[in-house]
Structures are given as structure tokens and as C-alpha cells.
């Protein structure tokens, strides 16, 4: 009897804590900090007013992978931004949001975002911290209200702990969420590709890669400027306007007819894994893209003057450029566990 009594107590002691949902252990995000690789320009977004801490990064990462951000709790940032595809969406011309709704632009790769002077293909977002409201409130993406997301995150047990660790108490505000997400997004650095190692002298290009690089520097680099492989400018690169979408591009933001059909030059880092290509994902392969510049540039009042005559490339040059572009793939970045959902 006495023994049974003690066992009963022990059983209560053992189970008395299990009423709270279990919090999975969190893998540390070692070494997360602001990075400016040698020879790179100063970033546009600085963490001065949003000092990086491991706990804020971890909170931002949890929110990035959080489907509660969407109206029906199905869609997270990571639904359309997958790490193995350099945080673009593999194979999707357009991504689907809630209820299977489709947008009209291709989900871009996310990397080295702090150098972006604006975000979105049309540059509509002026600061990385205020990026999240766009997909969260877009009816064809997450379809939510910010107010409701704050309520849902506040009610989630998991986030009480994550917010306390990051901010000292568990109050959920949009500012706290967005600054944490900015820490996660803004520290997605990709600077360890073969190209980078060749530049540092620790690896060397093959003959084909070297030839591709030489042609690239002659014919492509004025827009896809090293080391970030973009100049962050808005340009009409001569894509025939898709009359079903009628996407006016930068002009949608500026209301300036001179900006019609212009889109931001994308970085070419990790381009091998981040197709489909172009703002509307019309091309599935890098070959398609090069074929566009040699053969299908459409003239128009806002066409970039650099493309008035297209770009001349022979078959060998195309295949060498593609060999070179593949040296921009950063396998370390694509598999870096600190950015992965498995850490949640």
C-alpha cells in the first residue's frame, strides 16, 4: 500500500509538467552576424537599429517557416522560398498561395539581401524590415491581415518562449516579428561559390568556365555587375509583353511611363538552381535565357539601350557562359543548416 502510494506520487511528479506542449530543442545558430565579404561594397541595409542576436535570428527563422502567417494556415514564406533552390521556388513559374491562387510574378531567390536598394521585381519595398506585409496581405499569397497574424502568433505556445528569448518578454508586435525576420533574411549570405574561391585563388576555373567568364565580362557584366552580379537597376530587357498579365513593372510603383516593363536586374548567384527565370518565370533553362538575348529581344520605347541590338553569342560562347554561371552556385549556402526548417 505504502509502495503504491509512493508510485502514485512519482507518477504525478513525472507527468505534472507534460500538460505544457513540449518545446523542441533549438539548434544554435552559430556564427550568425553581419558579413561584408572582402571586396564587396557596403550593404544598403545595416543592422545598426536591429542588432543581430542568435535568439532574434532563431525567432525570425521560425516565423519564416510559419504557416500561421496565412489565412488558412497552409502557406509560409518558405512555401515559395525553398533553401535548396536558393530560396526561390523550384520549378514554379508562379507560386501558389492560399486556395491554390496564383500570382503573376516568379518568386525570386533570396540571398545577400542587405545589398538590395529595394526589394521585389518592381522595387516596391523600400526597406527589408517592411517586406513581410506584402506577401502576408496579398490576397493571392497569404491573404491575411497583420492584426490577425499577431493574434495567432500571440496565442501560439511555441512563440511565447521564442519571443521571451529574443526580446525578454512574450509580447508579439509586428515590429518585433519584422525585425526578427529581417535578421534571418538579411543574414542569408551566399559568398562561397566556386567563383568566389577562384577569386580568392584557392580554386581555378576549367577552360570552358574561364572562357565563359571572359565572354560574360565583355557582354553581360554591365548589368550583372560583380561581385553581386546585379546593379540593382530597373531595366526593360526586351521580353515580349505577356498580354494576359500586362505587368507594367517598375511603372506600377513610379507611375512613370518611362519605367514601363522595367524590372530589377536579378543577381546571378545560385542561378543554376533558382529557375524558372525572368520576372514572370517564362524560361525554364539558362539556354532559354541566352537564346532570348541573342534572338528574341523585342524593341520598344523603354527597351534598355544596351540591348538595342541584342547580344551576339555563338553556341560555344553560350555553353561556356553557362559553365561559368554554374560556378556561382554556393553549395555551402544551399545546405547550411542554420537556414533550414529542420532546425525548428
**Would you tell me which residues interact with other proteins (CB under 8 A)?**
2, 5-6, 9-10, 12-13, 16-17, 20, 49-50, 120, 124-130, 132-138, 145-147, 150, 160, 164, 168-170, 173-175, 178-179, 182, 252-256
Q: Rounding to the nearest 10 degrees, give the CA dihedral for residues 287, 291, 294, 298.
A: -140
Residue 232 CB, shortest distance to other proteins, in Å, is 16
Nearer to other proteins (CB atom), residue 36 or residue 146: 146
Nearer to other proteins (CB atom), residue 146 or residue 311: 146
Hey, which bits of the chain come out as E strands? Answer: 234-235, 263-264
Torsional class of 30: left (φ above 0), alpha (ψ -120 to 50), beta (otherwise): beta
Residue 149 CB, shortest distance to other proteins, in Å, is 8
Residue 135 CB, shortest distance to other proteins, in Å, is 8
Nearer to other proteins (CB atom), residue 233 or residue 319: 233
Nearer to other proteins (CB atom), residue 180 or residue 313: 180
Residue 337 CB, shortest distance to other proteins, in Å, is 27
**CA–centroid distance for 97 within its chain:** 16
Distance CA 79, CA 83 (A): 10
Nearer to other proteins (CB atom), residue 58 or residue 136: 136
Residue 206 CB, shortest distance to other proteins, in Å, is 44
Residue 119 CB, shortest distance to other proteins, in Å, is 9
> Cα dist. 207→129, 211, 323 in Å?
43, 6, 10
CB environment 244-282: b (16+ within 10 A), e (fewer): eeebbbbbebbeeeebbbbbbbbbbbbbbbbbbbbbbbb
Residue 156 CB, shortest distance to other proteins, in Å, is 13
| Residues 6+ away with beta carbon under 8 Å from 169 | 163
Nearer to other proteins (CB atom), residue 135 or residue 266: 135
Length of the chain: 344
Look at residues 185, 222, 193 and name the one whose alpha carbon lies nearest to residue 108. 185
| Residues 6+ away with beta carbon under 8 Å from 23 | 157, 158, 161
Nearer to other proteins (CB atom), residue 150 or residue 241: 150
| DSSP β-ladder status, 263-264 and 234-235 | antiparallel
Nearer to other proteins (CB atom), residue 77 or residue 297: 77
Half-sphere exposure of 156 (CA within 13 A, CB side): 19
Nearer to other proteins (CB atom), residue 17 or residue 207: 17
| Residues 6+ away with beta carbon under 8 Å from 74 | 67, 98
Residue 278 CB, shortest distance to other proteins, in Å, is 20
Question: Quick check: 339 and 188 in contact, CB under 8 A?
Answer: yes
Element of type H or E holding 78: helix 77-80
- Given CA atoms 193, 194, 197, 198 in this order, what sign does their dihedral have? negative
SS3 158: helix
Q: Which three cell numbers stand for residue 17?
A: 509538467
Residue 336 CB, shortest distance to other proteins, in Å, is 25
Amino acid at each position: 500500500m505504502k509502495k503504491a502510494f509512493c508510485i502514485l506520487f512519482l507518477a504525478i511528479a513525472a507527468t505534472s509538467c507534460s500538460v505544457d506542449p513540449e518545446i523542441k530543442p533549438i539548434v544554435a545558430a552559430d556564427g550568425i552576424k553581419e558579413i561584408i565579404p572582402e571586396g564587396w561594397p557596403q550593404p544598403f541595409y545595416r543592422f545598426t537599429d536591429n542588432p543581430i542576436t542568435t535568439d532574434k535570428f532563431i525567432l525570425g527563422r521560425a516565423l519564416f517557416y510559419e504557416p500561421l502567417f496565412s489565412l488558412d494556415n497552409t502557406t509560409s514564406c518558405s512555401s515559395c522560398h525553398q533553401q535548396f533552390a536558393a530560396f526561390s521556388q523550384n520549378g514554379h513559374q508562379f507560386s501558389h498561395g492560399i486556395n491554390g491562387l496564383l500570382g503573376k510574378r516568379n518568386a525570386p531567390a533570396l540571398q545577400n539581401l542587405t545589398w538590395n536598394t529595394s526589394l521585389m521585381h518592381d522595387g516596391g519595398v523600400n526597406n527589408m524590415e517592411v517586406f513581410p506585409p506584402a506577401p502576408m496581405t496579398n490576397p493571392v499569397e497569404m491573404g491575411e491581415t497583420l492584426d490577425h497574424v499577431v493574434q495567432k502568433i500571440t496565442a501560439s505556445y511555441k512563440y511565447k518562449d521564442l519571443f521571451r528569448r529574443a526580446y525578454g518578454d512574450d509580447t508579439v508586435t509586428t515590429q518585433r516579428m519584422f525585425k526578427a525576420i529581417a535578421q534571418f533574411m538579411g543574414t542569408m549570405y551566399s559568398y562561397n561559390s566556386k567563383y568566389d574561391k577562384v577569386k580568392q585563388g584557392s580554386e581555378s576555373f576549367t577552360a570552358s568556365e574561364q572562357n565563359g567568364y571572359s565572354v560574360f565580362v565583355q557582354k553581360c557584366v554591365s548589368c550583372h555587375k560583380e561581385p553581386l552580379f546585379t546593379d540593382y537597376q530597373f531595366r526593360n530587357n526586351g521580353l515580349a509583353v505577356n498580354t494576359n498579365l500586362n505587368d507594367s513593372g517598375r511603372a506600377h510603383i513610379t507611375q512613370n511611363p518611362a519605367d514601363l516593363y522595367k524590372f530589377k536586374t536579378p543577381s546571378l548567384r545560385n542561378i543554376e538552381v533558382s529557375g524558372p527565370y525572368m520576372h514572370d518565370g517564362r524560361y525554364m533553362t539558362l539556354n532559354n535565357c541566352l537564346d532570348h538575348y541573342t534572338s528574341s529581344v523585342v524593341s520598344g520605347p523603354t527597351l534598355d539601350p544596351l540591348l538595342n541590338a541584342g547580344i551576339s553569342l555563338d553556341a560555344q560562347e553560350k555553353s561556356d557562359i553557362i559553365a561559368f554561371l554554374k560556378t556561382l552556385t554556393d553549395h555551402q549556402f544551399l545546405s547550411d543548416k542554420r537556414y533550414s526548417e529542420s532546425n525548428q
